[in-house]
Amino acid sequence: MSTSRKQIHLAAHFPGVNSTTVWSDPASGSQIDFASFVHLAQTAERGKFDFFFLAEGLRLREHRGRIFDLDVVGRPDSLTVLAALAGLTTRLGLAGTLNTTFNEPFELARQFASLDHLSGGRAAWNAVTSPDSFTGENFRRGGFLDPADRYERATEFIATVRQLWDSWDDDAVLADAYHGVFVPDDRIHPFSHSGAEFDIHGQFDVPRSPQGQPVQIQAGDSDGGRELASRYADVIFSRHASLREGKAFFDDVKGRLAKYGRLPSDLKIIPAATVVLGDTEAEATERARHLREQQVSPQGAIAFLEQIWGRDLSDHDPDGPLPTFDPDAAGLASITRGRVRHEKDPFAVATKWREVAEANQLSIRGLIIEMTTRTAFVGTALQVADRIDEYVQSDAADGYILVPHLTPHGLDDFVDTVVPLLQERGSYRADYTGTTLRDHLDLRVPARVADGSAE
């Protein structure tokens, strides 16, 4: 096996609450039953993936004042599911999103340190920030955060959590029955943090975990998010899965690492991607087209359009033309809640969409299918393996987090057919060479910072 080839990192995202998930297909199983999580996690482990990832939702999304019912709705708690999977997997990393706005450092630090212990060093935390008072209505502390402060809180939160993770000596637990000393007093170091967001002190209650510090993931795409990731993250997710955009993102983020004294290999860049396979290219293309139709139902297309137009369009025919009138700017702020918005200027979007629809003779649904197509690896197993390898070797990414369309069998074919091809060319591990997620990601174990002073 060639050792000079850059190694690909793969992760699996359990398909849940988003329009990638095709729940209406007869082959789609439960998004809630634990058995579905077990199957996908064990499939990912069979494929020697680095980790399995669960996103978070803390408030059911609403559209036009009611709970949005056209995508998958509801999910079990991520951390609890990951802990349950720890006993049914042995090498697979277990990653979950937890919000820095609606949690406290002490509790979150003990949860991830616990998961790291329970999994023998396989835990990862995707830190996200959320300023919205909509979600805050489910929490006693409410939504108190000024959007401008969200990265400041996240930065202070992460620094504090790291201090807690480092507060026990590596070898603190002596368990010396003869002398009757379980943990010597001087091996648990007190912590103290006083900042704008948190003022806490005391003793952390979880011994230092197998990875020292669970792996840190970030997903921010803004300048603030990229900077935070460059400073703290071990893995960054991105939406830039194409070759050109991927390379630009890769260069930008890796270029920021030096000023924090970090090496390019200290941060792995893993865009989200979907895969559609076929025995022939034509079959894969046809399957991808069919999937897009399933993902965008007639009702879903109207709801999507309403998010841009900011008003009720239920009297429009999904197979008919786009509205001739302009978006309602006043309605935009409230029409959809609990969803991340990517469209900044609805008037520009509406103009562009009308042009595209007219030029290509597209109906509302046809247009939504066209405009929301995600970057996907579509083709035969060989073509997909070639492209993933090419993208990684040319530094458009360090690997990909795959979002399957179907639950829970959506990655079966990929693992059976694409993974062996990647292994053959020496770009992907034939088997796990280590036991921890840090091992899989080729990350150093951080030395404990004695009396770490989080700034």
Partner 1 sequence: MTTSRNQLHLGVAIDGHGAHPAAWRTLDDAAARGLWDGTVTTRHAQRAAQGLLDFVTLDDALAVQDGGEGRLRGRVDALLTLAKVGPLTSGVGLIPTITTTHTEPFNVSKNIATLDWVSLGRGGWRVEVSTSTAEADHFGRHQPMSEAEAWAEAADAVEVVRRLWDSWEDDAIIRDRPTGRFIDRDRVHYIDFEGARFNVRGPSIVPRSPQGQPLVLVDACGQAATTLAVATADLIVIDAETGAAAHERVSALRTALSDAGRDPAEVFILVRADVVFGATSYEASARLAVLDRHEPWAAHPGRLRRLGTACAFAELAMDWQAEHDINGFVLAPAVLATDLGRIVDELVPTLQAAGGFRKQYTGVTLREHFGLARPTSRYATASAGSS
- In the complex, the smallest distance separating the C-beta of residue 212 from partner 1, rounded to whole angstroms, is 14
Whether residue 349 contacts residue 308, with contact meaning beta carbons closer than 8 Å, is answered with yes
- In the complex, the smallest distance separating the C-beta of residue 19 from partner 1, rounded to whole angstroms, is 11
Under the binding rule (CB under 8 A), the answer on residue 173 touching partner 1 is yes
Residues 206-225 that bind partner 1 (CB under 8 A): 206-207, 209
Nearest to 253 by CA among 282, 224, 295: 224
Q: What angle do CA 301, 302, 303 make, to 5 degrees?
A: 90
- In the complex, the smallest distance separating the C-beta of residue 435 from partner 1, rounded to whole angstroms, is 12
- In the complex, the smallest distance separating the C-beta of residue 58 from partner 1, rounded to whole angstroms, is 7
Distance, CA of 218 to CA of 238 (rounded, Å): 9
Under the binding rule (CB under 8 A), the answer on residue 140 touching partner 1 is yes
For partner 1 (CB under 8 A), the number of binding residues is 75
* Closer to partner 1 by Cβ: residue 20 or 423: 20
Distance, CA of 241 to CA of 273 (rounded, Å): 6
- Tokens encoding 200: 């806490």
- In the complex, the smallest distance separating the C-beta of residue 127 from partner 1, rounded to whole angstroms, is 16
Interacting span for partner 1 (CB under 8 A) from 85-93, 371-379, 382-390, 409-417: 85-93
Give the length of the chain.
Answer: 455
Burial class (CB in 10 A: 0-12, 13-18, 19+), 203: exposed
Query: Whose structure tokens read 């450092």?
Result: 105
* Closer to partner 1 by Cβ: residue 181 or 282: 181
Whether residue 404 contacts residue 12, with contact meaning beta carbons closer than 8 Å, is answered with yes
Interacting span for partner 1 (CB under 8 A) from 1-9, 99-107, 402-410, 418-426: 99-107
Under the binding rule (CB under 8 A), the answer on residue 185 touching partner 1 is yes
Under the binding rule (CB under 8 A), the answer on residue 138 touching partner 1 is yes
Interacting span for partner 1 (CB under 8 A) from 81-89, 247-255, 323-331, 404-412: 81-89
Distance, CA of 214 to CA of 237 (rounded, Å): 17
Under the binding rule (CB under 8 A), the answer on residue 344 touching partner 1 is no
Largest CA-CA distance found in the chain, in angstroms, rounded:
84
Residues 33-72 that bind partner 1 (CB under 8 A): 33-34, 38, 57-60, 66-67, 69-72
Residues with Cβ within 8 Å of 27's Cβ and at least 6 positions away in sequence, in order, are 406, 409
